[in-house]
């Protein structure tokens, strides 16, 4: 392939100030929020909105090291559905601090008077809310540490609380906390988690934060694969670069944000971000169609031996199953958001999944089903059961997820390791049980009350049996 032309940074980075602190600098953040912010920084009146990154997990270390080596700049390769590519250097990330190595500096970055927004990608499971009660979990070891020892925090809650205390004492004013994770009502969820923590730790801070911190909801979207060492070598070769931390993504991108920023915000609308009063319909559309379809397809496709989303969706059986899931199962529960066309949206989704120049990994989608399933799948599953809707595809999905967790072997006999960081010991026992019904109330499915849903159980047990006897493809064909 011939080298792509790489677009250089068009603004003077030494003039940019950080108005945003981002916790959780991963690939998605770098391909999405940084991309929009980078585009905006060319405007002279927007140059106070650069980003300082904070990493709180040991797994952030390699990326941190790579980015620091190159002044936090990196190349983004955007892979179009038509096979063409655009490559650009992103300059909006100005600094990157590791909280575990340098907690004081991380706290000071958030407490800095120039900081007006803290954005978050701390994963679906990172908000520390009990999946059943919805309450903040105080028994978590890291939370216990942060409540007791505010000066050496380990979690986003502890860092933000300590920094806000400084802001309160210094009369610096509040800020906006903007969640960019894939959650239903991510702002409301973040608000519940942070306000619970503030209340537990410091009543005065909690009262101050009531007036001085806002939590807008937002919907974020851009498919961004994991980056392996081979990807790094490939991208650099294709782009003629020596970037230690390249990232690549699809061409589609969307960001819808509620306009509720207590301390001002960048003019993101200039670069295509939609600012609105109510994000809920957009969020529901994206989680119910994109993320749920991803989850619905990832486990069966992985067990059928596929490793890439684009390869799986080109399999007619998989394509039909996902198309039917979207059209028949989910569409009745997705009111069309203003300015959207659901038929177009679904058509584009199928094209996005088929994008072979992205070649997204199924393993990335299979990762952490325990946190994703309650957000992407369960809310509509509850409605479908209540409405007496045909349940076969969902029952098949639950049976496949059990099979995937239990046997860790695909249809071709290849062994694999599952990657489920939040799997509890109780759930492990239910997975191991030879009675398949024991699986129906594992934590991520519990709120669907499947054990009381007779039609669901019948269909599920039939899929369980068929999976054991005939494998995934045959079972999929049967339910189609």
What is the binding site for ligand CS2 (CB under 6 A)?
Answer: 182, 221-223, 291, 294-295, 365, 372
Nearest residue to ligand CS2 by CB is 294
Least distance in angstroms from the C-beta of 279 to ligand CS2: 14
Least distance in angstroms from the C-beta of 219 to ligand CS2: 9
Cβ 220 vs Cβ 27: under 8 Å: no
Question: Long-range contacts: 204-213, Cβ < 8 Å, 24+?
Answer: 204/168, 205/161, 205/164, 205/165, 205/168, 208/164, 208/168, 208/174, 209/164, 209/174, 211/174, 212/164, 212/167, 212/168, 212/173, 212/174, 212/175, 212/262, 213/164, 213/174, 213/175, 213/176, 213/177, 213/262
> What pairs with residue 176 in β-bridges?
117, 214
Helix (H, G, I), strand (E, B) or coil at 117: strand
Rounded Cα–Cα distance for residues 190 and 125 (Å): 11
Cβ 145 vs Cβ 86: under 8 Å: no
Tokens for 326, please give them: 């979207």
Residue 370: how many CB atoms within 10 A of its CB? 22
CA-nearest of 371, 370, 290, 284 to 332 is 284
Of residues 241 and 273, the one with the C-beta less far from ligand CS2? 273
Of residues 50 and 131, the one with the C-beta less far from ligand CS2? 131
Rounded Cα–Cα distance for residues 189 and 156 (Å): 14
Least distance in angstroms from the C-beta of 462 to ligand CS2: 27
Least distance in angstroms from the C-beta of 250 to ligand CS2: 8
Of residues 35 and 456, the one with the C-beta less far from ligand CS2? 35
Residue 106, CB-side half-sphere exposure with 13 Å CA sphere? 27
Of residues 218 and 291, the one with the C-beta less far from ligand CS2? 291
Of residues 226 and 336, the one with the C-beta less far from ligand CS2? 226
Of residues 30 and 222, the one with the C-beta less far from ligand CS2? 222
Least distance in angstroms from the C-beta of 19 to ligand CS2: 24
Least distance in angstroms from the C-beta of 31 to ligand CS2: 9
Least distance in angstroms from the C-beta of 376 to ligand CS2: 7
Cβ 259 vs Cβ 276: under 8 Å: yes
Least distance in angstroms from the C-beta of 277 to ligand CS2: 22
Of residues 222 and 346, the one with the C-beta less far from ligand CS2? 222
Of residues 291 and 466, the one with the C-beta less far from ligand CS2? 291
Rounded Cα–Cα distance for residues 361 and 385 (Å): 31
């Amino acid at each position: 392939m011939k080298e792509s032309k790489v677009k250089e940074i068009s603004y003077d980075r030494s003039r940019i100030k950080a108005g945003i602190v981002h916790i959780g600098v991963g690939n998605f953040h770098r391909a999405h929020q940084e991309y929009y912010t980078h585009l905006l920084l060319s405007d002279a009146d927007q140059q106070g909105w650069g980003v300082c990154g904070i990493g709180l997990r040991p797994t952030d270390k390699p990326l941190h090291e790579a980015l620091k080596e190159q002044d936090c700049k990196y190349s983004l390769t955007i892979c179009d559905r038509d096979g063409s590519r655009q490559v650009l250097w992103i300059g909006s990330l100005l600094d990157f601090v590791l909280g575990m190595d340098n907690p004081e500096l991380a706290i000071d970055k958030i407490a800095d008077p120039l900081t007006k927004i803290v954005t978050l990608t701390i994963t679906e499971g990172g908000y520390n809310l009990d999946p059943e009660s919805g309450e903040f979990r105080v028994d978590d070891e890291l939370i216990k540490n942060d409540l007791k020892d505010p000066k050496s925090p380990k979690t986003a809650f502890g860092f933000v609380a300590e920094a806000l205390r400084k802001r309160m004492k210094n009369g610096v004013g509040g800020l906006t906390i903007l969640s960019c994770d894939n959650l239903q009502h991510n702002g409301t969820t973040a608000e519940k988690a942070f306000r619970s923590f503030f209340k537990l730790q410091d009543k005065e801070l909690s009262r101050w934060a009531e007036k001085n911190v806002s939590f807008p909801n937002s919907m974020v979207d851009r498919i961004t694969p994991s980056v392996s060492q081979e990807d790094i070598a490939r991208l650099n070769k294709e782009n003629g670069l020596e970037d230690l931390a390249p990232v690549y993504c699809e061409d589609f991108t969307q960001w819808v944000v509620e306009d509720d920023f207590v301390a001002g915000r960048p003019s993101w609308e200039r670069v295509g971000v939609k600012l609105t009063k109510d994000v809920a319909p957009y969020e529901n559309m994206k989680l119910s169609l994109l993320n749920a379809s991803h989850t619905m397809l990832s486990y069966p496709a992985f067990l059928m031996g596929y490793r890439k989303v684009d390869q799986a969706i080109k399999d007619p059986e998989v394509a039909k199953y996902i198309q039917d899931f979207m059209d028949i199962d989910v569409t009745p529960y997705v009111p069309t958001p203003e300015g959207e066309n659901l038929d177009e949206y679904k058509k584009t989704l199928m094209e996005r999944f088929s994008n072979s120049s992205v070649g997204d990994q199924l393993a990335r989608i299979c990762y952490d089903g325990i946190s994703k399933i309650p957000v992407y799948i369960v809310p509509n599953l509850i409605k479908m059961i209540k409405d007496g809707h045909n349940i076969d595809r969902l029952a098949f999905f639950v049976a496949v997820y059990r099979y995937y967790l239990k046997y860790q072997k695909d249809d071709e006999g290849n062994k694999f390791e599952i990657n489920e960081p939040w799997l509890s010991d109780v759930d492990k026992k239910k997975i191991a049980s030879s009675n398949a019904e024991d699986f129906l109330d594992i934590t991520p499915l519990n709120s669907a009350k499947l054990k009381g849903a007779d039609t669901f159980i019948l269909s599920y047990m039939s899929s369980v049996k068929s999976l054991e006897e005939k494998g995934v493809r045959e079972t999929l064909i049967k339910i189609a």
